[in-house]
Chain A
Amino acid sequence: MKKPLSFISVIVGIVVLLTVLQVVVSNKLSTTGVVLGRYQDEIKKYETENTILAQKLLISTSLASIASQAASLGFIEGNNKLILSAPIPLARER
């Protein structure tokens, strides 16, 4: 009669242990989920900020923007090209 009793005690013990474990893990998971959610929101926020900043960067590095800024600063397109042809050998010059 002693053996079944100890077996049942072990089973009950395991059940109690698993129940406590489940409560602890569930509790832990539930709070982790909130933290995870917060991190996800934060990542999303930074991603959005990054996209907005990238947009500003792309606009300011666009050729259209650079050309208009150059024009407003007084740069003008040079129409005359100076072509330096191959130098005449020294012996031929004389």
Chain B
Amino acid sequence: MWRYRTALFLLVGGFFLIILRLFYWQVVRAEELSSWGKSQYATQLKIFPKRGEIRTSDGYPIATNNVSYLVFINPKEVGEKEKIKTTTILSSFLQIDSASVSGALKKDLYWVPLRNNISPELKEKIELLKLTGVGFEEQSIRFYPEASLAAHLIGFVGKDEAGDNKGYFGVEGYYDRQLRGKAGNAVFIKDAFGRPILAKADDKESQIDGRSLILSIDRVIQFIAENKLKKGLVKYGAVGGAVVIMNPKTGNILAIASFPSFDPSSYQEFDSTSYKNPAVSNLFEPGSTFKSLIMSAGIDAKVVKPDTKCPICAGPVAIGEYQVRTWNNEYHKDVTMTDVIKNSDNIGMVYVSQELGIEKMLEYFEKFGIGSLTGIDLQGETVAELKPRNQWYPIDIATASFGQGISITPIMLLTAFSSIANEGKRMEPHVVAKIETAKGEIIEIKPKMINQPISSETAKVMKEILVKAASQGEAKFASVKGYRIAGKTGTAQIPIAGHYDPNKTIASFIGFAPADDPKFAMLVVVDKPTSSIYGSETAAPIFFDIASDLFTYYNIAPTE
């Protein structure tokens, strides 16, 4: 019996030890051993998600993904006799020096990359040569079917510190986290020699493709704006320029065009200063276009009316040690406020600012969003904060009334001005209208009203003043016949080392149309035109040229 018990005890004890050991391997060290085992037959690779597309309002992808290939070589498969031939062929097809290829062939590795981003056509050509040890790995690169159209708006895709794709500037930068998605892992099985074999164990659950953006940008309007601006800049010999077109009722941006620009697919070849979008990143003194905001403030605060006569407009006005003049040195005694805007009279604006006073003036600046970000969904928006209240002197108030000595961005000016077109309501500017998830769900971005700087009555009165300014002012020769367009010219001098450059200006024109039911508000800025320094002779013709095409595009019939 004792023998039987001893045998039983030994067996049970033995089994217990085995179970204990198995527990140690299977549970305690399971993860470690599993990864050891896996490393002998498999390689874990990061699977990059597809970057989301950027589409215009008609659904056309202006930034999408394209197939390209990485060429690699397995030096262990290439025989000594074949090395010279392989080197010569690859260096010629891939346009890389032969030393790089022969260097790669000398490496004691199974996989050496040779060149990134080759086209499918080139891949086919190389494949036909049937070179031993040469392989291809599919890659995804950003592709822009409309080339450099809306380049500043889109931005570009570069690399971050870890070598992963990252969006910079424009919507690529602002919506990078939405567009990039989430990477996943995949396990590739290797054979006994460590060579990759076809079998692949996917773990795609953790991988989420990026979301696509549907812009409010209208591709046709963007195309018109870019072409007209480009032609205009050549015609007027300007250094650069920008056009921003917005739906004043929703704040949706319909087009943003600016030059000099860059090609997002080869952004490395361009100067990094060209990446900045002038419409949101460049500060400028707005000049006379700013008068429309100050006059709106004056009417809204009830310190002036459209028929109020200017008692100080008979000649230049002295403020402290400075003397303020009109742009053409012509003076109109008892000119009405309507004609102050029509004639772009600086003295009339000084009168409005004096009637408003510093407190009211700064209050309206704040209401119009001057000195604060508009909140546009584009990377790189800048702002010049307003001076503190105690640093405003009478001359500052006077010059600010006609848009000098104050710096704003084109988008800030257009957002503030659009409130006149939208019954006094200021809308937040937006370029993305919808976001589409990888599963096809649509997230809509609704229009957002920021505030109401002026009443709807003031907006109505101001609209009539601006219609008169556009049809009877300096730019009347360029206006589109048959349509009621509200607008204002601007010619701002450029400050250089404490004074203004007498020969260089920033010419602009801002307006909206049709005045009674605005479909668009537009700002045209021309940087340092040489054929004429005035906004009425440079920016205004570009504005009306674009507006004319927009009337046709929107099927808007003439009313006059």
- Give residues in A with beta carbon < 8 Å to B: 33, 37, 40-41, 44, 48, 51-52, 54-55, 58-59, 61-64, 67, 81, 83, 85
- Give residues in B with beta carbon < 8 Å to A: 60-61, 64-67, 120, 138, 143, 145-147, 149, 198-200, 219-220, 223, 227, 481-482, 548, 552, 558, 560
A38→B326 CA distance, assembly (Å): 79
Label chain B's interface by main secondary structure: mixed
CB-nearest residue of chain A relative to B61? A58
- Which residue of the partner chain, among A37, A44, A52, A58, contacts B145 with CB atoms under 8 Å? A58
Q: Which residues of A contact B558 (CB under 8 A)?
A: 83, 85
State how many angstroms separate the Cβ of A33 from the closest Cβ of chain B.
7
A61→B66 CA distance, assembly (Å): 16
Q: Which residues of A contact B198 (CB under 8 A)?
A: 37, 41
Contact indicator A51/B66 (Cβ below 8 Å):
yes
Contact indicator B481/A62 (Cβ below 8 Å):
no
CB-nearest residue of chain B relative to A41? B198
- Which residue of the partner chain, among B120, B147, B220, contacts A64 with CB atoms under 8 Å? B147
- Which residue of the partner chain, among B138, B149, B552, contacts A63 with CB atoms under 8 Å? B149
Contact indicator A63/B120 (Cβ below 8 Å):
no
- Which residue of the partner chain, among A48, A55, A64, A81, contacts B146 with CB atoms under 8 Å? A64
State how many angstroms separate the Cβ of A16 from the closest Cβ of chain B.
25
Contact indicator B145/A59 (Cβ below 8 Å):
yes
* 4 tightest Cβ-Cβ pairs between the two chains A and B: A58-B145, A63-B223, A83-B482, A62-B145
21 contacts between A and B (CB under 8 A): A37-B199, A44-B138, A48-B120, A48-B138, A51-B67, A52-B120, A54-B64, A55-B66, A58-B60, A58-B64, A58-B143, A58-B145, A62-B146, A62-B147, A63-B146, A63-B149, A63-B220, A63-B223, A64-B146, A67-B227, A81-B548
State how many angstroms separate the Cβ of A9 from the closest Cβ of chain B.
25
Contact indicator A83/B481 (Cβ below 8 Å):
yes
Q: Which residues of A contact B552 (CB under 8 A)?
A: 81
Q: Which residues of B contact A61 (CB under 8 A)?
A: 60, 145
A48→B393 CA distance, assembly (Å): 66
A52→B120 CA distance, assembly (Å): 8
State how many angstroms separate the Cβ of A81 from the closest Cβ of chain B.
7
Q: Which residues of B contact A64 (CB under 8 A)?
A: 146-147, 149, 223
Q: Which residues of A contact B149 (CB under 8 A)?
A: 63-64
A37→B188 CA distance, assembly (Å): 13
Q: Which residues of A contact B482 (CB under 8 A)?
A: 83, 85
User: Interface centre among B65, B145, B146, B227, by most A CB within 10 Å?
Assistant: B145
Q: Which residues of A contact B199 (CB under 8 A)?
A: 33, 37
CB-nearest residue of chain A relative to B227? A67
A62→B200 CA distance, assembly (Å): 38
Q: Which residues of B contact A48 (CB under 8 A)?
A: 67, 120, 138
State how many angstroms separate the Cβ of A61 from the closest Cβ of chain B.
8
User: Interface centre among A40, A64, A67, by most B CB within 10 Å?
Assistant: A64
A59→B227 CA distance, assembly (Å): 18
Other than the given A37-B200, A59-B145, 16 more pairs (CB < 8 A) read: A37-B199, A44-B138, A48-B67, A51-B66, A52-B67, A52-B120, A55-B66, A55-B143, A62-B145, A62-B146, A62-B147, A63-B146, A64-B146, A64-B147, A64-B223, A83-B482
State how many angstroms separate the Cβ of B67 from the closest Cβ of chain A.
5
A47→B427 CA distance, assembly (Å): 42
State how many angstroms separate the Cβ of B386 from the closest Cβ of chain A.
41
User: Interface centre among A51, A52, A55, A63, by most B CB within 10 Å?
Assistant: A63
Contact indicator A63/B67 (Cβ below 8 Å):
no
Contact indicator B219/A63 (Cβ below 8 Å):
yes
Q: Which residues of B contact A55 (CB under 8 A)?
A: 66-67, 143, 145
State how many angstroms separate the Cβ of B555 from the closest Cβ of chain A.
13
Q: Which residues of A contact B66 (CB under 8 A)?
A: 51, 55
A69→B120 CA distance, assembly (Å): 25
Q: Which residues of B contact A44 (CB under 8 A)?
A: 138
